[in-house]
Amino acid sequence: MRYAMAIDTKKCVGCSDCVVACQAENNVPIGFCRDWVVEVTDGTYPELELENRSERCNHCENSPCVRCCPTGASHYAEGGIVLVTEDKCIGCSACITSCPYDARYVHPKGYVDKCTFCVQRLKNGLKPACVSVCPTKCMYFGDLEDPNSDVSKVLKTRKHKTLIPEAGTKPHLYFLI
């Protein structure tokens, strides 16, 4: 089992519904977020390109956050999901500094919080909140080891990239381009 997510930048319109749905699902306080939308413009008028990306924790296979965590709060869970055990976290923020994707924040209650791929929903056979709400259906989620999963199928047929591959973290968030 190896969970991964692919986001189709050709369909994403940057509406941030993924952010709103995540905040509601995961009780993320106003002013914070586990996922966010990035818009990148390239070129000079009128030769332009625009990429919309819904970003979040990359659930890396070689995660600097897990490696640097002094208490073991950051850890790998089933399917390669990177999680933080709230009551083991001392809020030292070493993981925040180590993450090349800036995917973590300190929750007002003192622990570090981040995307969990909505592990509580996965247990109930549901997809992550962002995936299930997205109006453009630009997000694909599933098990990379299952060739029939949505994410495996789309990665087989579409050109894709990962972010900051040079950091060597082996990220599992893919962007279809």
Query: Between residues 3 and 140, which has the closer beta carbon with respect to another protein?
Result: 140
User: What DSSP element (H or E) covers 26?
Assistant: helix 17-26
Residue 1 is a binding residue for another protein (CB under 8 A): no
**Residue for token digits 């968030």?**
173
Query: Between residues 9 and 149, which has the closer beta carbon with respect to another protein?
Result: 9
Contact characters 112-131, another protein, x per CB under 8 A: --------xx--x-------
Peptide bond into 46 cis (omega under 30): yes
The only residue of 68, 90, 94, 105 in contact with another protein, by rule CB under 8 A: 105
How far is 23 from 28, CA to CA, in rounded Å?
Answer: 5
Query: Between residues 73 and 176, which has the closer beta carbon with respect to another protein?
Result: 176
Query: Between residues 12 and 69, which has the closer beta carbon with respect to another protein?
Result: 12
How far is 170 from 106, CA to CA, in rounded Å?
Answer: 24
Scanning 25-33, 65-73, 79-87, 159-167 for contacts with another protein by CB under 8 A, the matching segment is: 25-33
Torsion of the alpha carbons at 12, 140, 31 and 82, rounded to the nearest 10: -150
User: Which residues contact residue 10 at a Cβ distance below 8 angstroms, ignoring those fewer than 6 apart?
Assistant: 138, 176, 177
The residues in 47-86 that bind another protein, with binding defined as CB under 8 A, are 48-52, 55
Q: What are phi and psi of 171, to 5 degrees?
A: -70, 155
Contact positions toward another protein, by CB under 8 A? 10-11, 13-17, 19-21, 23-27, 29-33, 36-41, 43-46, 48-52, 55, 102-103, 105, 108, 120-121, 124, 132-138
